[in-house]
Amino acid sequence: MKYFDILTGMKYTEPHGFRCKVQSMELQKVVSAYEKDLAVVEEFLEKEHESYVELIPEISRHIIMSGGKRIRPLLLMICSDLFGFHGDVRHPLAAVLEFIHTASLLHDDVIDHANMRRGKTSANRIWGNAASVLVGDYLYAKAFKLLTASSNHDVQKIVSEATTTMVEGETIQLIKSGDVAISEEEYFSIIEKKTAVLMAAACALGAVLAGENSESVDLMKEFGAKLGVTFQLTDDTLDYVGVEEDFGKTIGMDIREGKMTLPLIWALRQCSPSERDRIRDIIASKEADDEEVIEIARFIRAYGGIDYALARAAGFVDEAKKLIAPLPESFAKEALLAVADHILKRNL
């Protein structure tokens, strides 16, 4: 398979070690199977972001209804189905997860000075940072208001702990911004906290709602966490090789923001001291221009950073699949495998 590097204008072959086994089920079939449930979730999202303060629904609608994949609500529906639970409480709970995710995106874009989100001009660029932060706060508040409707203490604990961990992860990433000495272990710790934890919660909630034992809950939490790590790994890789219109974010922003992601961390471990000093100076400045972004993208590719990151992503998907391999065969199990493959190969 050929990939196109938007930053360098160069084509290259599928990275060594990148394996994505095609499942018999495609993601669209999965989405179609849960279409009615997802439609109910959309109704909750549309209804619950309303406010008499006109700016709140205006900004909320801009990002919530802008084409998000609803991966977290979908995972909750599939995992509930996996254990035979089909109660109505799934829908507001799925909306809770999406509100938390959306709130985090609004805040992230302010922190990152982002220009694009989901292929559209980011909210902070249209309405300003203050409005984006406040609407993000509103969505967090709405999420927890909906969460109080659940009398299940375990459900409340999983969601509240996940949200707290997400903020901790984002804060650590902010602290580490521009830190060229960050280790691979620190990088994985950050993405596990800021991204993987909410997918882990979505999968674990399916087992909790079905009344499954702690072993099943922990199994699904680990499965979701591995999908979340894969999601962030591919996200970080697409920052160097994605197509901006497909990716929905400005390409090269991680470099400009001084974010140390796995492709760059790996490349810096392989290069000469003089190259390392040059790249570190650019990253630490957080003011990379277009030519410097291209320079770093070429540097990463030359030292196999893209190949390495995608190989690690494929490894996490393989681990996730092995976790649920012993479960009985079912449509829901096949659907989880299809979602895992989609996350690995999205927009690549």
Structural domains of the chain, with CATH: 24-345 (1.10.600.10)
Residue 323 has pLDDT above 90, yes or no: yes
Residue 164 has pLDDT above 90, yes or no: yes
Per-residue pLDDT of 178-222, as tens digits, reads 888 899 999 999 999 999 999 999 999 999 999 999 999 999 999
CB 48 within 8 A of CB 142: yes
Per-residue pLDDT of 141-162, as tens digits, reads 999 999 988 889 999 999 999 9
- Assign 165 a pLDDT band (cuts: 50, 70, 90): very high
Q: What pLDDT was estimated at residue 67?
A: 66
Contacts for 58 with CB less than 8 Å, ≥ 6 apart: 127
For residues 283 and 292, give the distance between their C-alpha atoms in angstroms, rounded to a whole number: 9
Q: Which of 259, 114, 256 is nearest to 177 (CA)?
A: 259
* 35 or 253, higher pLDDT: 35
For residues 347 and 294, give the distance between their C-alpha atoms in angstroms, rounded to a whole number: 20
**Its pTM surpasses 0.95:** no
Contacts for 310 with CB less than 8 Å, ≥ 6 apart: 15, 17, 18, 233, 234, 237, 348
Burial of 32 (0-12, 13-18, 19+ CB in 10 A): exposed
**Which position has the token pair 């993987």?**
196
Burial of 67 (0-12, 13-18, 19+ CB in 10 A): exposed
pLDDT over 70, % of the chain: 89
Reduced to 3 states, what is the DSSP secondary structure of residue 343? helix
Residues 39, 44, 47, 51, Cα dihedral to 10°: -140
Contacts for 167 with CB less than 8 Å, ≥ 6 apart: none
Per-residue pLDDT of 237-281, as tens digits, reads 987 875 444 444 556 778 888 889 999 999 999 999 999 899 888
Contacts for 34 with CB less than 8 Å, ≥ 6 apart: 74, 77, 78, 81, 335
Q: Please give the mean pLDDT across all residues of the chain.
A: 87
Q: What pLDDT was estimated at residue 313?
A: 97
Per-residue pLDDT of 38-85, as tens digits, reads 999 999 999 988 899 999 999 998 988 776 789 999 999 999 999 999
Crossing angle of the two packed helices 129-147 and 153-176, in degrees rounded to 10: 160
Burial of 232 (0-12, 13-18, 19+ CB in 10 A): buried
Q: Which of 16-25, 258-267, 331-340 has the lowest mean pLDDT?
A: 16-25
Q: Which of 10-14, 26-30, 228-232 has the lowest mean pLDDT?
A: 10-14
Residues 300, 344, 174, 165, Cα dihedral to 10°: -150
E strand spans, the chain? 2-5, 10-13, 116-117, 120-121
